[in-house]
Amino acid sequence: MNSQKLTFTFPSSNGKDTIYGVIWTPLTPPKAILQVTHGMCEYIERYEEFAQFLNGYG
């Protein structure tokens, strides 16, 4: 594993929904920060392998 995974939630601005997020932090100092926003009918776990790959390079 190349990173630590942190999940979090916060209420949306409409007060009706909950926003779910994930931060994959590399175990070494990062070289860059990337934000991935998925579309409708997708799910964040789909990007876990991609996040692990990127974290392997810092």
Token output for 16: 């009706």
Domain of 37, in residue numbers? 3-55
State the Cα torsion 53-45-25-21 to the nearest 10°.
150
Give the pLDDT of residue 1: 66
What does the alpha-carbon distance between residue 12 and residue 56 come to, in Å, rounded to a whole number?
A: 32
State the Cα torsion 42-43-44-48 to the nearest 10°.
-90
Count structural domains, the chain.
1
Q: pLDDT tens for residues 1-58?
A: 678 999 999 999 999 999 999 999 888 888 999 888 888 888 888 888 998 898 888 7
Beta strands in the chain (DSSP E): 3-11, 18-26
